[in-house]
Amino acid sequence: MTQQAETINGYKKRAKQLVAQMTLKEKIHQMVHAAPAIERLNVKAYNWWNEGLHGVARAGTATIFPQAIGLAATFDEDLLQEVADAIATETRSKFNMQQRYGDTDIYKGLTLWAPNVNIFRDPRWGRGHETYGEDPHLTARLAVRFIRGLQGDDEKYLKTAACAKHFAVHSGPEDVRHSFNAVVSDKDLRETYLPAFKACVEEANVEAVMGAYNRTNDEPCCGSELLLEQILRGEWNFDGHVVSDCWAIRDFHLHHKVTANEVESVALAVKNGCDLNCGSLFLFLQDAVAQGLVTEEQIDKAVTRLFTTRFKLGLFDEPEQVPFSSIGYAETDSPAMKALNLTASRESLVLLKNDGLLPLDRSRFRTVGVIGPNANNRRALVGNYEGTASRYITPLEGLQDYLGDGVRVLYSEGCHLFQNKVGGLAQPGDRLAEAKGVCAESDLIVVCLGLDSGLEGEEGDIGNAFASGDKPNLDLPGQQEELLRIAHESGKPVVLVLLAGSALAVNYADAHIPAIVQGWYPGAQGGRAIAELLFGEYSPSAKLPVTFYRTTEELPAFTDYSMNNRTYRYMRSEALYPFGFGLTYGQIAIDSVELDADSVTESGIRAKVRLHNAGTLDASEVVQAYVRADSPGAPNAQLKAFRKVHVAAGTSVDTELTLPLDAFALYGEDGTTSIAADTNYTLHIGFSQPDARSVALTGRTPHSFTLTARTAEKSRFF
């Protein structure tokens, strides 16, 4: 037994001993997120509910990193772990301070309900910007590193406890999430919806898993025998605790109608492995035990799991024993945190189009016009589940700061984000004339359009203009496209900056605007990163973690969870901007690719890739490997390995990609995988997908290799 295993067993033993001293009522009260103190046992009050999606959320000042979808666009595993470690540091710094003053309120604990590893299968989903995009492999790889960053690498203690959510098959629609039944085939379940969760459990040892609101194949996720007992704890040997989504247990009887009342609902959840209730319905467990629906032994098992987590966090040990107890409050919002945040913002910005306008030459412009509803919109910097920054830098402010007194910056909101006027008593289009005036006076126009978390987000979010949080379509809302046309028709050079957490069908912009930057929700430093990108202080390097479609009409029904014709892996139409696409200012090319074998063996395939930067600017590129099986019904070429590589100007760099045997597995309709002997595969290695649209946009064709599988692996659940 390893030292770590012995330590964990020790925590389990201590937790079991502590739970044995509690009354049934005391144990049950520990199973709700606002767990009260048990003074006679020296158990402090603890609130399990805290958020750390892209920074410590909802608890005052903290660093606001780019929203998760922006972090995904970095395609940088090392950066994800570094950002998560910073979030854990700030969580500990705030927790240590709050404990000194007796503050045990909500959002003040060490259990962070992040990351969100649901698959962003439909661009209309309002919560998609909380995820790492539409691809299972990218999501899994980034989530594993994010979890490792949150939980740390100490041999005895967790820095914080991460939580993979929402398990499973959950991605809208938001307005019916409390009653919706996501029907999914075994193939899609195993091939698309579960791999990221599996990696979180088996590779990252995530401490917690949160169930989803909806049903999956008729079972409510927070009480699903298939998901929680058979797969999570059975197949994957998950050893942490399961938490319900907030107030999801009451949906069992109120909306899913699978139970008759509160007592039956809490019994179903606990019997199938849900240990912690975000909410208070688990207090009905007293009645469930009395009625024989749940045993006290089942309660003991759940509470022991919860206290094991608290022991792992060092909450019952002296502070001097726990290395993270010494993290001071000064670590929050420190200069180092601001610097990392700026790096993350820079790395998240995707250059979608550049007809030679970028990077801008500052000396050419005397007046720069900045227009659009997102030019000075702080909400468009941060997305949802956000903290409070000590300073926000919007695109307008970033350009003002960067250009200083030497260049005049003119500003007009131009239009409302989604309504037809800004002023309540005004006529429609009340800011369009001002925008025309700014365009007329300017040498360059930067148009900032898109969405914010008031338009796309979670069902029930305060101020969500579309009520459910989902987008009704992929169009720019309100008068935004009209504003863009005004800028273009002025005859001045135009740069479009999109701030949005999801794909938009910007066909007019693609046809008419010379430069387009996808900024996501780039964090509190986002405006500075955008200004520096436009003027060439660094080369963009991010790639799209989602597909940008041309029309809403080409999408399958939002409620259809089949992957048929969904995402780049199965879509049949041509994308506007494909998954994996993003331009740079650099001149990096792949000089050569060498494979260690010409057929797929038990050890998979290793590819040695040599990159050369022929330009004068240091830059980074994302080397991507895609696999396509020559088999009926197989997906399109799928991402199976990637690596972000920095290459200094005029130099060459070698890197290596490893594709394990599983990268070549094919899924059957029953959800099992197999690698059949003599199956042919095409392996593509480049800076994008191998599809025709990506090749046309980048001007580069990936290196391609035909491989044959020389192994016949027995089918198994993957």
Please provide residue 124's backbone torsions phi and psi, each rounded to the nearest 5 degrees. Answer: -80, -15
Residues 6 or more apart whose Cβ sits within 8 Å of residue 5:
none
Chain centroid to Cα 698, Å, comes to: 26
CA atoms within 13 A on the CB side of 477: 23
- Token couple for 98: 């709050």
CA distances for 275 relative to 204, 282, 574, angstroms = 20, 9, 45
* Catalytic residue list contains 300: no
CA distances for 67 relative to 63, 83, 211, angstroms = 12, 11, 22
Distance CA 394, CA 380 (A): 8
Residue pair 677/709 in contact (Cβ under 8 Å)? The answer is yes
- Token couple for 620: 């980074």
The amino acid at 557 = A
b/e map 438-447, b = 16+ CB within 10 Å: bbeebebbbb
Q: What would the DSSP string read from start to end of 258-317?
A: SSSSHHHHHHHHHHTT--BBSSSGGGGHHHHHHTTSS-HHHHHHHHHHHHHHHHHTTTTS
Residue pair 149/83 in contact (Cβ under 8 Å)? The answer is yes
Residue pair 576/551 in contact (Cβ under 8 Å)? The answer is no
The one catalytic residue among 245, 251, 430, 461: 245
- Token couple for 158: 């967790």
Among 108, 3, 115, CA closest to 45 = 108
Helix (H, G, I), strand (E, B) or coil at 169: coil
Intra-chain end-to-end CA distance of the chain, in Å:
27
Please provide residue 20's backbone torsions phi and psi, each rounded to the nearest 5 degrees. Answer: -60, -20
Among 49, 199, 183, 181, CA closest to 132 = 199
SS3 letters across 67-112: CHHHHHHCCCHHHHHHHHHHHHHHHHHHHHHHHHCCCCCCCCCCEE
- Token couple for 266: 């809490």
* CA dihedral angle for residue 581, residue 586, residue 587, residue 589, rounded to 10 degrees: -50
Residues involved in catalysis: 245
